[in-house]
Chain A
Amino acid sequence: MSMFKRFVEPGRLALITYGPCAGKLCTVTDIVDQKRVVVDGPEDITGVRRHMMPIKRLSLTDFRFVAKRGIREKVLRKGLEKSGNLNKFWESSWGKKLKTQEARKNMTDFERFKVMCAKQKRSKEVKKSLKKK
């Protein structure tokens, strides 16, 4: 029985949690030492350039594709496409949570109002059904 399931390895999809790229997905492409890795979400796909990053800034996801150390962009793209990891991530519960957080942050005033109305409606229904009992 292994304690760890997510490893820092080439091909591992990770979410950057700190720094200028915070909130973006990237793939680990190479390992520098115990604390640092080289990371690349191909820039046009996720907006992360190929660069070195401390592991502390990453949150590893469940998704990876098999890759050798130091994979270059072409192989990286192929791997991502074939595995469909990005889509898998956004469809996972973690990814969905992130999306709802973003949607909530970007709500306009009218949308906030509509949400408030929906919440009120729901609570009315709940109270009604409780009263019946």
Chain B
Amino acid sequence: MGRNEMLAPGVPKYGRSKMMKMRKANQYAKKGGEKKKVEEKKVTYGKYVEADPVKVPLPSTKRSSRPTKLKKTIKPGSVLIVLSGRFMGKRVVFLKQLPSGLLLVTGPYKLNGCPIRRINQAYVIATSTTVDISGVNTDKIDDAYFARVKEAKEGEEGFFDNQEKINPEWLEKRKADQKAIDEPLLAAVSKVSLLAEYLQAPFTLSKGQAPHMMKF
């Protein structure tokens, strides 16, 4: 290009109107007039601009994952009524909310057969009754505790074995943890009259009772 130059591929320095002006000026010059110089406009930059701007990614709108918001009515030690699953109808004691958002609960096992378990708070009615869990230590228990146990056994034999056997070590550990958590709980429960019987009894609706009209 003669008068023009490319600043970047496809971006000429002088646009159409400027080029026209320069052409015209040159025409007059050729005819004998003065060459009109097209003054280059001094470009003043307001602020410093990078010659080669680095692409900055837009701020992420994703939120860092956090556990689901706990219902206001659920407090550590609350008695919860389980609404679905194997322990449907049982009244269990809420211990803490795990990082996955699920609730850690226990029967206690001796009272209603529910072990240390995870439940989703959507499948639970929170009652206003609470048990004193100050003596209970749940630090060891998190989501990884409930991961499925895989025994590394190779081959077809191993495959069938895994399906039928429960690892005895794992079972013993579970029993020990259950006992460690339930003992202080049972002591606290026995202090309140009828609370043990309450946790033993399943929750039922009788004629005329409607959960939306009942206070829990």
Contact = CB atoms under 8 A, between A and B. Distances in A.
Interface of A: 105-110, 113-114, 117
A94 B148 CA distance: 62
Contact of A117 (B128, B194, B203): B194
Contacts of B214: 109
Main secondary structure of the interface of A (DSSP, over half): helix
Contacts of A108: 127-129, 215-216
A110 B215 contact: no
Nearest to B126: A109
A25 to B, nearest CB: 23
A113 B215 contact: no
Contacts of B128: 108-110
A9 B128 CA distance: 45
B74 interface: no
Interface in B102-133: 127-129
Given A110-B79, A110-B129, A105 B198 contact: no
B81 A113 contact: no
A124 to B, nearest CB: 15
A108 B127 CA distance: 7
B194 A109 contact: no
Nearest to A110: B129
